[in-house]
Structure 1
Amino acid sequence: MDFHDEQPRKRVRLDSPSAQTPATTTPVHEPIPAATSPALSAPVDAEMADAGLAVQNPDAAVPDPDAALLEREIKAGITAYVNPAAKGFSGVLKQRYTDFLVNEILPSGKVLHLESLDMTVSKPAAAVEGKPEVKEEVKAEPKPEAKPEVEGDEGTAVPEIPLEQVAELQAIFGEENTVSLIKLFGLSWKNPSAKRGSFFTITSPVIEDKEDRTKAHQAVRRILHNKLETVTADDNTITVTKAAPPAKRNGAKWQRNQVGNNRARGKLAWSDLGGEYLHFTLYKENKDTMEVIYYLASQMKLAAKHFSFAGTKDRRAVTVQRVCAFRVEAARLAGLSTNLRNAYIGGFKYEPHGLSLGDLAGNEFRITLRDCTFPGDEGLTSIDALLQHARAIVETAVNSFQNQGFINYYGLQRFGSFSLGTDEVGKRLLNEDLAGAISAILQFSPRALAAAQGEPVAALISSDDRARALGIHTWRTTGRAAEALDLIPRKFTAERNIISHLGLKGRTGDFQGALGNVPRNLRLMYVHAYQSLVWNTVAGRRWEVYGGRVVEGDLVIVGEKDGGVDEPEVDDEGEVIVRPGAEDRATGDADFVRARPLSKDEAESGTWDVFDIVLPLPGWDVVYPANEIGAFYKEFMGSETGGGLDPHNMRRRWKDISLSGGYRKVLARPRERVEWEVKAYGDANEQLVSTDLDAIPGAPRRQEQTVQEGANERIAVVLRMQLGSSQYATMALREMMKAGGVKSYAADYGSGR
């Protein structure tokens, strides 16, 4: 699964003159005044030398994106291919965000789609009656003027229903059902505290028109004083029951806690709806998952932690995923949907459980690669000949990928977009060099600072990156935290929180406190990135040494072959954690999934294949392979590149950076058969694959650029594949397309980092 950093919206072609000369983008570390933080005042050149980087002139040429991509892959330990002999091809990835479609695969194996924009919520009928699931229509309505709520009580007279309102109900439900409605209303009025299960229910005739159903819901609530509840079933009938009893406290009406301006219900009342968690489908275009969550939470006056999801999705893409909100009413959320930009929600359903990272089977990707070229196509002039040649190469590449899989590398997204990657920050944290870790987090490109100060530079830098560079520069040179924070955009949470803490009186040297002020998921991201670097490097070495063979000392999951594995535990990023053998654990807790080395006889038995082999992410609670690869962990981690660390000494005094470790399968392969298509197209603005939104009748349409009519002289490859949780589509494409095959669509804006 891919987790992409924010990408600029404005882009230029690959052949931009400014994108020809390779150069290394490097950070700058200016001294913080000694009075402010002497421990962070390392000279610029020394800092760069320590990082193995050369200081760059701010007006140096922008790096060639493809050369830079290969360099980043090598630096991240991504070097090997399962089948290097297979021919690849090249193509441009994500030229348009609609070229990268991601649909979550639910634990049931169903591919999730946004199927409708109707604001309906699925609700379970009373289980004892064995009724099918029904759906209630929820519609955002103007907030009514505050009125005292009419509440029945035993011994009070039931309000009389005017004849014109009786006639209105009869027109909707029929005469017989209307008699039953009024009877149910009277019983509900006289017994407001009785549970709804003790009352009869009423079912309307089929009402096909949605507007008519909406009017029916509103009529029942308005005419019958909100004493009855209506839901729409799958067959478009409306079921009417007694409404849930109002909550009482000390005998008086209790105005309960507000959740996002919605009246919170007691746990029992939420269970009547189906549970305390409102699950819904989120469809988004060119947006971060958390960007949508933060907006919804802010509008409902909630903390973002009230929302959860199974996995973060790409930004420059069209993605569909399930999200859940704790004790939030569907009508309130539906009311916010009209204000969402480039995002839509639907598929509401109350559940008794929430969502956690890893609560998905994987993701389905539909990827369009544009401007594709193929080995040996130089002499082919007709489009038909090119298509035939292209199909032969793609078919071979896909079949190899399908059958032999790909090395399950962590993608580049894991390492961030800064010149000093997140793994470098993690390395410094694990060496307990907290000042150095902060210095790495607060690095920036001299190009960004030059742009912020109005100097001409070779590349355009986004306003956010310019502001970030200027803010950090201000902090480093003046020590004025408030002034720096006024400049740094709020999206840079880690930088702002560190400066905010160090800027407090008496906290200048409190580096652990400053890092502790960074959200925990960000702190973990740094050390997890270091683990990912080690894993990638070791995986490449294992493939180089043993290839697809299973050998003595390889690690496998205990019980996997005999079905003895429980649901795996996942970490904060959704990564599966596999524990070592009980005899190697401090506690021997049997609840954890474990791993063990294979004996020589087991390795040669044929019971296990290379897809069963796992490699550990370094930590204090893992066992390492009992072969040459186990020794390589010590060799690499002890090197300068590996940070001079010992894989057998991973406990740290600070708990947050004391890693227990985990495991990851060496090879991965797609869940289902990969589908592919090679097609010709003419205009670069032509959308080649339909999204979920495109398939919904009457749904809003995005504003498209004009497509020019002309000859279909370009070739695109469209792939549909399903990958498991925490598998990276970019790494799958890399195996199919080989080195240099995946072309980045060069951004008009440099990262400035």
Structure 2
Amino acid sequence: MASLVGITEFLTETRRIGGRLKEKCSDFVVKEIDLKGCIAEITGKVFIKKEEEKVEIKEISEENAKKINEKIGQELGDKILALAQRISGGEYESILEIPSPDDKEERTKIHFTIKEFAPMLTSCTEKANNIIRIYSSKLAQSFNKRQKLNLDSRGAKKTPSKYIQFTLNKQNLDTAKALKILGKATGIKDKSFGIAGNKDKKALTSQNITAFANYLDKLQHAKLPENMQIGDFKYSDTELKIGDLKGNRFEIIIRHLTCQDESHISQLIETLKVKGFVNYFGLQRFGNSVENATHTIGLAILTKNYQKAVDIILGPRSVKNEDENRARVNWIAYHDVDRALQEFPIFCNIERTILEGMRKAGSSNAVLNGFMALTRNSRMLYAHAYQSYVWNQVTSFRLQMSQETLAGDLIQDLQDHVAYLTEENKKNYTIHDVVLPLPGSKILFPTNDAASVYTKVLSQDGISLQTFNELQKEMALTGSYRKIVVKPENLTWETVKLKENNVDEDSTDFGVKVAFDLPSSSYATVCLREIMGEEYIDN
């Protein structure tokens, strides 16, 4: 499938080591690196709250306490004095709620008594709940009534920050599935979680997650399956968005090598350090089957052929589950929404979401409404896959032209400014500085021969660059830039002896363990392709 999505070129011509990846989850470890360069992992640290401001509050004098009891009665007076005592003792957020008297004069008497003899306290009548709230006035001098009570707009307790951030460790789960499990365990909608990126399914992964701070207690007491853990909670002023990461740290074991010559392996890896690898979008970007590759769905969306897009998503593909396979065949044969909802297994989340949207819409634009029932991120995933497909094709052509910088190439600086190389300045840069655009409405194209490939690939698919300008705002593809060659950082390796399954206990296999860092959106499998070759099996 690699060549079908434009993955064809290597930076070196040499014998590669072959091998297999992801035979076990523990063979593929991924740890997110945040924007500050910190690696996501659960350290076991206790939750550290922000330091609260200390407030000095004077106690109510005995004389004033006596007058309070005289004015509003012993029972209510004692409750108010007890509240004042708790606040003076440091429980600054303590609140006393009492039934609001029907008589306005009685309510006024309570408020005036507190104001005159207990100035440390403030009171207000809440008509909606027919209560009088009494609380510390010292904490509320510059806030409105809701802020005085330290409540948010939903009446929930405020926290030092709007969000909390924590680390999620998972095994044999993709990120979307893990968040659904976490949401079900806590009663929190999975859409409420913020992430910087999606992590591999068949791997041991660690990544940062954000949620509203009011969910802290639910998350800390969540009962999760053995292949999921969360921890290292801390307050955060911002929510994580896709792309809010520096990159990922990988620790990977390669098994079943076809070349076990350590000197050759060392030479390959040293070359990888120096030259890097072609920064293709990996096969994960395009799905796991030719029949429903995500970029073909993206193309259908760009041409506004939503029926074709839905048919590719719901249609036949190579699957092991017999019920799912039958449902896919029957969808193409009958296009019966009710039947499909009965036949598609519950784990087919995307398919069932589309079908539910179609059933809800009835006959009015059913297919379009079914597709739009997907989250925006899911819909954009398909469109981005088509951009990635085009980018891979152009990158292969550009590297066939030369692995040196050329006039007309594009470079991008740290401030994201893009400029053209000229015959005069191209010698000041290397192939590692060159970027190519993902097609969109707001990007520059190279001015050398690589530019023609964009037009050629798009025209073969029946669209043009103008197509990206005509998209509705909700599906806008403005485009972006991506380096065509990347070097892994902090690359180390060692040979390891590995015990294999289904063999004698004394039998071992020779393998290689590599560790390295990659920037966000670069693929470890594509990096290792440079030393393993095209034939490696990514299980």
Q: Considering the TM-score relative to the shorter chain, is it more than 0.5?
A: yes
Structure ranking higher on relative contact order (CA contacts 8 Å, 6+ apart) = 1
Q: Which residue in 1 is equivalent to 2:374?
A: 518
Give the Cα separation in 2 of the matches to 1:326 and 1:736: 44
Q: Which residue in 2 is equivalent to 1:114?
A: 42
Q: Which residue in 2 is equivalent to 1:89?
A: 17
**1:665-680 to 2 correspondence within 5 Å?**
665-672=483-490, 674-680=491-497
Q: Which residue in 1 is equivalent to 2:73?
A: none
Is 1:104 paired with 2:32? yes
**1:6-25 to 2 correspondence within 5 Å?**
none
Report the identity percentage.
27
Give the Cα separation in 2 of the matches to 1:328 and 1:545: 56
Give the Cα separation in 1 of the matches to 2:525 and 2:516: 12
Number of matched residues? Answer: 476
Give the Cα separation in 1 of the matches to 2:229 and 2:146: 42
Give the Cα separation in 1 of the matches to 2:208 and 2:496: 32
Relative to structure 1, is the Cα distance of residues 409 and 155 closer, same or farther in structure 2, using a 3 angstrom cutoff? same
Look up the SS of the partner of 1:620 in the other structure.
coil
**1:593-672 to 2 correspondence within 5 Å?**
593-604=416-427, 606=428, 608-639=429-460, 643-672=461-490
**1:522-541 to 2 correspondence within 5 Å?**
522-541=378-397
Give the Cα separation in 1 of the matches to 2:343 and 2:77: 54
Q: Which residue in 2 is equivalent to 1:372?
A: 257
- The 8 Å contact of residues 310 and 367 in structure 2, kept in 1 or not, is answered as yes
**1:232-631 to 2 correspondence within 5 Å?**
264-266=156-158, 270-271=159-160, 275-336=161-222, 338-374=223-259, 390-418=261-289, 419-445=291-317, 461-462=320-321, 466-503=322-359, 507=363, 510-547=366-403, 549-557=404-412, 560=413, 565=415, 593-604=416-427, 606=428, 608-631=429-452
Question: C-alpha displacement at 1:192, in angstroms?
Answer: 4.4
CA RMSD of aligned residues (A): 3.3
- String of CA shifts for 1:276-330, please: whole Å, max 9, x gaps: 2111111111112222211222233222122111111111000111111113343
* Gapped regions of structure 2 (runs ≥ 5): 56-75, 97-135
Q: Which residue in 2 is equivalent to 1:717?
A: 512
Question: C-alpha displacement at 1:393, in angstroms?
Answer: 1.6
Relative to structure 1, is the Cα distance of residues 112 and 251 closer, same or farther in structure 2, using a 3 angstrom cutoff? closer
- Which TM-score applies when normalising by structure 2? 0.80
Relative to structure 1, is the Cα distance of residues 128 and 537 closer, same or farther in structure 2, using a 3 angstrom cutoff? farther
Give the Cα separation in 2 of the matches to 1:744 and 1:187: 62
Relative to structure 1, is the Cα distance of residues 312 and 153 closer, same or farther in structure 2, using a 3 angstrom cutoff? farther
**Counterpart residue identity of residue 519, structure 2:** G
Give the Cα separation in 2 of the matches to 1:106 and 1:317: 19
Question: C-alpha displacement at 1:492, in angstroms?
Answer: 2.9
* Gapped regions of structure 1 (runs ≥ 5): 1-71, 130-149, 160-183, 195-241, 375-388, 449-460, 566-592, 686-706, 746-753
- The 8 Å contact of residues 154 and 190 in structure 1, kept in 2 or not, is answered as no
Relative to structure 1, is the Cα distance of residues 632 and 99 closer, same or farther in structure 2, using a 3 angstrom cutoff? same
Relative to structure 1, is the Cα distance of residues 112 and 156 closer, same or farther in structure 2, using a 3 angstrom cutoff? closer
- Which TM-score applies when normalising by structure 1? 0.58
Give the Cα separation in 1 of the matches to 2:411 and 2:328: 47
Give the Cα separation in 2 of the matches to 1:190 and 1:79: 66
Relative to structure 1, is the Cα distance of residues 545 and 501 closer, same or farther in structure 2, using a 3 angstrom cutoff? same
Question: C-alpha displacement at 1:598, in angstroms?
Answer: 1.9
Question: C-alpha displacement at 1:82, in angstroms?
Answer: 0.8
Relative to structure 1, is the Cα distance of residues 331 and 152 closer, same or farther in structure 2, using a 3 angstrom cutoff? farther
- The 8 Å contact of residues 165 and 211 in structure 2, kept in 1 or not, is answered as yes
- String of CA shifts for 1:328-379, please: whole Å, max 9, x gaps: 343331211x4333111111111111211112111111101112221xxxxx
Relative to structure 1, is the Cα distance of residues 306 and 506 closer, same or farther in structure 2, using a 3 angstrom cutoff? closer
**Counterpart residue identity of residue 678, structure 1:** T
- String of CA shifts for 1:518-550, please: whole Å, max 9, x gaps: 221121111111111110011011000021x11
Question: C-alpha displacement at 1:402, in angstroms?
Answer: 0.5
Q: Which residue in 1 is equivalent to 2:101?
A: none
**Counterpart residue identity of residue 342, structure 1:** N
| More helix as a share of residues | 2
Give the Cα separation in 1 of the matches to 2:285 and 2:311: 20
Question: C-alpha displacement at 1:468, in angstroms?
Answer: 3.0
Relative to structure 1, is the Cα distance of residues 315 and 193 closer, same or farther in structure 2, using a 3 angstrom cutoff? same
